[in-house]
Amino acid sequence: MSEELHKPLYTRIQEYIAELVLSGQLAPDSKIQSERDFSEDLGVSRMTVRRAITELVNEGLLERKHGSGTYVARPKLTYEAGELANYAEAMQKRNIATTSQLLEFGQVAASKRLAEFLGLQIGDPVYRVAILRLANRVPVVLERVFVSCTRCPGLEEWNLEKSSIHDLLTDAYHVTPGRISQTVEAVVASDTVAQQLRVEDGFPLLMLSRITFGTSQEPLVFSQDFLRGDYARIHADAQLESRPASIIHSASGKEVTPDHS
């Protein structure tokens, strides 16, 4: 008997539907058949079909829309962690057509939080910029950038839809960015963010909070970027450090010291 027949039935159905998606027979955003139709076409129970579809939803290949049905999920753009300071450049590397829209530009007085992030005094003038990044005409990233007016005087003279803050630091202000400290968390779109990113309230997003430091470790830029959760994912490699051998316990409770020689 072939290895295929040893697989659980729901797994074989899962692989069948996945092949329809990956081969392009089911395009992104297209609605798939109902569980009942799959059940009748394949001659299996709806429970088996439901389990197969649920597994594909968990894998991100399909998505359920309440009251509407199940659809093929849009492919996500994978960002490397080190690329996150310059989204436009990251998308251009992938030959994705990109455009930008400047939504906000002005000056604000540094709050206590901004002053701590940027190494300023409370009340110091800070540029506040909001830029919408579009990939293939779809809004995918909302960037909110805060930078000291003293460190980047005349920022309003530059075309921020065509030049990133990261590039301007180097090319216009002759400051070399060095280390980046960033955190990623899952959030939902608030009213203002949803409106600017053109999604509905409560839409799932990834929020990246980032401080860019100069080579002398002085903070240069604080930014908060909102990425659409259905379009983006982040990849990062980490090197595990070696450590001394530790004592582990076998299933019988016996202590064992691993041999790493």
CA-closest candidate to residue 103, choices 230, 212, 197: 197
Contact of 221 with 126, CB cutoff 8 Å: no
For the stretch 23-48, pLDDT in tens is 778 887 889 999 999 899 889 999 99
pLDDT at 2 over 60: no
pLDDT at 1 over 50: no
For the chain, how many residues are written? 261
Predicted local distance difference test score (pLDDT) of residue 70: 92
The lowest-confidence range among 10-14, 140-144, 216-220, 233-237 is 233-237
Tokens of 169: 């630091």
Domains and CATH numbers, the chain: 3-72 (1.10.10.10), 77-235 (3.40.1410.10)
Predicted local distance difference test score (pLDDT) of residue 152: 92
Instruction: State the Cα–Cα distance between residues 240 and 261, nearest whole angstrom.
Output: 18
Instruction: State the Cα–Cα distance between residues 11 and 14, nearest whole angstrom.
Output: 5
Using a 10 angstrom Cβ sphere, with 0-12 exposed, 13-18 middle and 19 or more buried, the burial of residue 245 is exposed
pLDDT at 3 over 60: no
pTM over 0.85: no
Kindly report the average pLDDT of the chain as a whole number. Answer: 84
pLDDT at 193 over 80: yes
Contact of 134 with 99, CB cutoff 8 Å: yes
Segment 225-233 shows an average pLDDT of 82
Predicted local distance difference test score (pLDDT) of residue 127: 97
Chain position carrying tokens 């009942």: 36
Instruction: State the Cα–Cα distance between residues 215 and 207, nearest whole angstrom.
Output: 25
| Confidence class for position 256, pLDDT limits 50, 70, 90 | low
3-state secondary structure of 54: helix
3-state secondary structure of 140: strand
Chain position carrying tokens 């439901």: 50
pLDDT-above-90 percentage for the chain? 36
Segment 118-140 shows an average pLDDT of 91
